[in-house]
Structure 1
Amino acid sequence: MSSALMSGAALTPAGAQLALPGAVAPTPEGTVTSPGGKSKKKLSSGEMGQARGPVVMPKAPSEETIVGKTLQLDGAGGAIEFSRIGPDLEVAKLTLSGDRLSRSGEECRVEIAGMPLKLTRRDSGSGLRRYQLLSLPACPFTLDVLDGAILVTNDGKACEIKEADCRADPSGLWGTAEREFDPKKAEDMLGARAKVEKDVRADFRELYERNKKEKLVRSFVVKEQAGFSSWREEVCRSYAKESDFGYCALRLTEARAIALGAQLASGVKLPEGYAEAAAAEEAAAKAKGKK
């Protein structure tokens, strides 16, 4: 077995089932606000309300923006390629990079065998096209399709691929490789991000105005928006040439615009248990204030 590439002990995918947070639809019962801002209690899963007025949700990026391209994690790490078999999207090639299990700090790379890998379509609830890779038991993950990129989540856990003596974390943005960035397009990319940022701020203000009389929904919308910037910074801090191009931030901000558009068009769906958690937090704050 090579120190850089697993051979001989190929990882052959087999059937597996794994539920990752936010990856499996439908969502349990919760609170949904209509586009007009009025709440509807205990609507069944998937009932998002009907859009009123001229709200137009941004179009989600198509799978065609990623088919036939090589996408790299953080622009310099693992690599993934997609293909289409009829209507189905599949992983045509996958290489994971990480640290050796036996020697922490030493890099390892694993080329996954048994291609292609089947992807299962899921409802993202955010307006994006979402898929789960369940056919690789050693490292299942969820991906959202962005414009020429994918955002991968893995329940916060790195994959231990013992046959290759490798621990790899596939979570993050897989997109344009470092070598493909054109310095002449840096200014245009940064300008595009500024425009999308402006759209996001406008959509957030509109969403807030529609829900400002609903305390629970309003607080959720505010917290979600407030947490976006720090989350984006965490995801993008390791992306190649990010300070020069802002590529990762642009793609995640575009995804945020689509998510806000979905909420404007169809209403805000509160996560399961959010109301209970908010009530408990408020009660704890009041109890603390009385001491």
Structure 2
Amino acid sequence: MFESWFRTLTARHACVLGVAALIAAGVQPARAQLVLPGAVAPTPEGTVASPAKKRSVGGEMGAAAGPAIMPKAPAEDAIVGKIIKRDGEGSAIEFSRAGADLQVAKLTLVGDDLRRSGEACRVEVAGTPLKLTARQSETGLRRYQIAFPACAFTFDVLDGAILVTNEGKACELKDAGCRADPEGLWGMSADEIDPKKGEEMLGARARVEKTVRSTFRALYDQYKKEKAIRNFIVKEQAGFSSWREEVCRSYAREPDFGYCALRLTEARAIALGAQLATGVKLPPGVVEEAAAENTKKDEKK
């Protein structure tokens, strides 16, 4: 899911263009891509890195004390029976089970009133429980689509949260005169987060960042002789921090807790692990480039 968001952002952010320029110049890109906003940049062996002082969206990470964390793909039970909110304070959803099947017990969408400019609207979706259909995913996460014709969004299951996409479109609930955008992270509300755990969350994110960097290195090494695939995964990795910043900038009290950034970094670690284990799924243009590259290699043999 978020891979498609990466591709959109790589066309818009200068940091990715800079990476492309490095590749074109023949400069090895792997080390440059391993540093994410808020992380400590790698330094020569024998020197001490100073912690980043700039406080950005997602909070300032704590020191990465302890081993790297490899998150596991959360099961559906991580979201059952909880009320989770978009950006921690907007639209809300609650999941339940009907036997073994996951379903939506309650859905409330908050958006813009189409009848009164500048005013908000709130819609309690009728017809619940709503069915969910499992969808194929290459991210290593469980993915579902909601059976609600007016807003049939798709989401990946995270730890106590969901990451929603709707092809970049807001939903228009014409009967209610309401337009609501479901995309983004739906998770804990700010008043549910224990203030004492803010530093713990930032430290956990730093350890997951270790996993992201080490897994990316392994993935890069696996494909370093295949230019088209190598360039693709480098651009995706470079686009991750910009994508995370965009998704999390509106999450409630994000600078204090970094909750959204932690969940998305965990999802990124899982996605990289899936790519390392099962291969990288390429968009059509890159597939053609990779095929042409392999044809040239065969001709040289």
Any idea what the Cα deviations from partners look like across 1:247-280, whole Å, max 9, x if unmatched?
0000000000000001111121212333347999
Matching of residues 1-291 of structure 1 within 5 Å: 58-133=71-146, 135-276=147-288
Give the Cα separation in 2 of the matches to 1:107 and 1:141: 21
Any idea what the Cα deviations from partners look like across 1:156-207, whole Å, max 9, x if unmatched?
1111111111100011100001111111110000000111111101111111
State the 1:210 CA deviation: 1.1
Give the Cα separation in 1 of the matches to 2:78 and 2:280: 28
Any idea what the Cα deviations from partners look like across 1:65-85, whole Å, max 9, x if unmatched?
100000000000011000111
- The structure with the largest helix share of the pair is 2
Give the Cα separation in 2 of the matches to 1:262 and 1:176: 26
| Aligned partner of residue 195 in structure 1, secondary structure | helix
Q: Is the 8 A contact 2:229 2:290 kept in 1?
A: no
TM-score (norm 2): 0.72
| Aligned partner of residue 138 in structure 1, secondary structure | helix
Q: Is the 8 A contact 1:75 1:174 kept in 2?
A: yes
Give the Cα separation in 2 of the matches to 1:125 and 1:205: 19
Give the Cα separation in 1 of the matches to 2:72 and 2:129: 28
Q: Structure 2 counterpart of 1:178, which letter? A: A
| Aligned partner of residue 269 in structure 1, secondary structure | coil
Q: Is the 8 A contact 1:158 1:167 kept in 2?
A: yes
| Aligned partner of residue 95 in structure 2, secondary structure | strand
What's the RMSD between the two structures over aligned residues? 1.8
Give the Cα separation in 2 of the matches to 1:132 and 1:244: 32
Q: Is the 8 A contact 2:226 2:290 kept in 1?
A: no
Structure 1, gaps ≥5 residues long: 1-20, 23-56, 281-291
State the 1:116 CA deviation: 0.4
Give the Cα separation in 1 of the matches to 2:88 and 2:289: 38
Any idea what the Cα deviations from partners look like across 1:25-58, whole Å, max 9, x if unmatched?
xxxxxxxxxxxxxxxxxxxxxxxxxxxxxxxx85
Q: Is the 8 A contact 2:227 2:290 kept in 1?
A: no
Q: Is the 8 A contact 1:97 1:108 kept in 2?
A: yes
Structure 2, gaps ≥5 residues long: 5-69, 293-301
Which residue number in structure 2 is paired with residue 49 of structure 1?
none
Give the Cα separation in 2 of the matches to 1:229 and 1:123: 25
Give the Cα separation in 2 of the matches to 1:104 and 1:152: 26
Q: Is the 8 A contact 2:141 2:158 kept in 1?
A: yes
Q: Structure 2 counterpart of 1:116, which letter? A: P
Give the Cα separation in 2 of the matches to 1:65 and 1:275: 36
Q: Residues 93 and 277 of structure 1: is their aligned pair in 2 closer, same or farther, counting only changes over 3 Å? A: farther
The percent of aligned pairs where both chains have the same amino acid is: 73
Any idea what the Cα deviations from partners look like across 1:222-265, whole Å, max 9, x if unmatched?
01101110001100000001000000000000000000001111
Q: Is the 8 A contact 1:58 1:261 kept in 2?
A: no
